[in-house]
């Protein structure tokens, strides 16, 4: 029997896996690295960039607040006046828990995988609101290029510290690039503004020993897959069924692996049942196949919103492994 790590590599290289890679099992996700303030349920917080997030009780996630009072970037042409990157935390104390976690991982079995979020695209709209961010790509492209370069430099500075402390095997990086039915921007615009930034960021991780880039975007993004490959993404996590995942696997399989095809919205809800989960998992495994595919809830971390869903999905994938391998 292959180790979890070997089985992952066989799956993404088009070899001979002996079972499905089961959801997030190959990543030991390091959440303890000092990435700044994140909002938790019931809170309103302002992070180190000055962005205010609100997560009302009972909601499934937090949202940046963009009323006139709270919007950080009020005029893209004056972004230097409004946007001040925080210093990357370089204290041993701040990194101690992450280092301890990374050191405890059996790297023959799993990939030490730091979690990094939000990404460059999300940062632009967290700072200024979605409408302003998207319109600025047209109206003030030079300023947007400058802002994106500035955000990229910050990511690279953080990456340098993270790599020197944790020596990660993989990276789990979040940046949602679309809605459930379309990408937010056209592939050409994505290529102009965001691909160069990510080529730098992901290139830096790879040049420094990171073997796998796993990118989360639980959206439509089929039209962006060539860009994802160009950026150096090895695994796109969060691929929704709206992308027609089996077709993507046929078209791009040897170049990138697709992780998801189990839409959290359809499975992870209060009325879930083992039967609903089994039906979705069977469909995903049978239509997507054994190579370049990892069955997984599209949610961006290794848990579910409603108790029991993640575990039941894992059990259903195990059953499909027994049936199909």
Partner 1 sequence: MSKILEVKAKVEAGKTKLIAGLVQEALDEGIKAEDILQAMVDSMGVVGDKFSTGEIFVPEMLIAAKAMAKGVEVLKPLMASDSASSLGTCIIGTVAGDLHDIGKNLVSMMVESAGFKMVDLGVDVPAQKFVDAIKENENVTLVACSGLLTTTMPALKEAVETIKASGLAVKVIVGGAPVTPEYAAEIGADGYAPDAGSAAVKAKELVTA
- Residue ranges in contact with partner 1 by CB under 8 A: 56, 58-60, 63, 130-131, 134-135, 137-139, 179-186, 189, 265-266, 269-270
Coil vs helix vs strand at 119: coil
CB of 214 to partner 1, least distance (A): 24
CB of 39 to partner 1, least distance (A): 12
CB of 205 to partner 1, least distance (A): 29
Asked if residue 76 lies in contact with residue 140, where contact means CB atoms within 8 angstroms, the answer is yes
Nearest CB to partner 1, comparing residues 131 and 323: 131
Nearest CB to partner 1, comparing residues 187 and 289: 187
Measured CA to CA, the distance from residue 121 to residue 186 in angstroms comes to 13
Phi and psi torsions of 257, nearest 5°? -105, 145
Nearest CB to partner 1, comparing residues 242 and 287: 242
Q: Reduced to 3 DSSP states, what percent helix, strand and coil does the chain have, rounded to the nearest 5?
A: 45, 15, 40
Phi and psi torsions of 232, nearest 5°? 100, 15
Segment (H or E) for 262: strand 257-262
**Rg, Å, the chain Cα set:** 20
* The length of the chain, given as a count of residues: 325
Structure tokens at 216: 């989360």
Nearest CB to partner 1, comparing residues 109 and 131: 131
How many CB atoms sit inside 10 A of residue 93's CB? Answer: 8
CA distances from 64 to 45, 72, 171 (A): 10, 10, 24
Minimal CA–CA distance to 26: which of 132, 112, 129? 112
Nearest CB to partner 1, comparing residues 169 and 268: 268
CB of 118 to partner 1, least distance (A): 15
Nearest CB to partner 1, comparing residues 57 and 207: 57
CB of 117 to partner 1, least distance (A): 18
DSSP state of 183: B
CB of 130 to partner 1, least distance (A): 5
CB of 304 to partner 1, least distance (A): 12
Asked if residue 98 lies in contact with residue 33, where contact means CB atoms within 8 angstroms, the answer is yes
Nearest CB to partner 1, comparing residues 97 and 189: 189
Crossing angle of helices 195-207/120-128, nearest 10°? 130
Nearest CB to partner 1, comparing residues 16 and 59: 59
Structure tokens at 152: 């990229």
CB of 201 to partner 1, least distance (A): 23
């Amino acid at each position: 029997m292959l180790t979890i790590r070997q089985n992952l590599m066989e799956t993404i290289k088009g070899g001979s896996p002996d079972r499905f890679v089961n959801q997030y099992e190959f990543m030991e996700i390091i959440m303890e690295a000092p990435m700044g303030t994140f909002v938790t349920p019931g809170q309103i917080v302002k992070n180190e960039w000055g962005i205010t997030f609100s997560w009302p009780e009972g909601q499934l996630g937090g949202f940046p607040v963009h009323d006139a009072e709270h919007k950080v970037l009020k005029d893209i042409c004056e972004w230097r006046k409004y946007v001040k990157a925080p210093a990357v935390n370089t204290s041993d104390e701040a990194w101690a828990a992450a280092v301890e976690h990374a050191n405890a991982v059996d790297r023959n079995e799993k990939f030490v995988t730091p979690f990094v979020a939000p990404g460059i695209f999300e940062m632009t709209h967290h700072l200024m609101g979605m409408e302003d961010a998207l319109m600025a790509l047209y109206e003030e492209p030079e300023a947007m290029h400058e802002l994106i370069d500035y955000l990229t430099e910050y990511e690279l500075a953080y990456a340098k510290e993270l790599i020197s402390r944790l020596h990660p095997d993989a990276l789990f990086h979040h940046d949602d690039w679309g809605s459930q039915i379309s990408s937010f921007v056209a592939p050409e615009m994505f290529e102009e503004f965001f691909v160069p930034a990510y080529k730098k960021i992901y290139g830096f991780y790879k040049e420094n020993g990171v073997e796998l880039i796993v990118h989360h975007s639980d959206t439509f993004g089929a039209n962006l897959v060539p860009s994802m490959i160009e950026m150096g993404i090895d695994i796109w996590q969060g691929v929704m069924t709206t992308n027609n995942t089996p077709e993507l696997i046929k078209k791009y399989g040897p170049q990138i692996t697709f992780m998801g095809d189990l839409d959290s919205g359809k499975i992870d809800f209060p009325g879930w049942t083992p039967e609903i989960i089994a039906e979705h998992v069977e469909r995903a495994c049978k239509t997507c196949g054994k190579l370049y595919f990892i069955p997984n809830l599209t949610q961006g971390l290794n848990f579910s919103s409603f108790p029991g869903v993640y575990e039941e999905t894992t059990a259903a994938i195990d059953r499909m492994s027994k049936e199909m391998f």
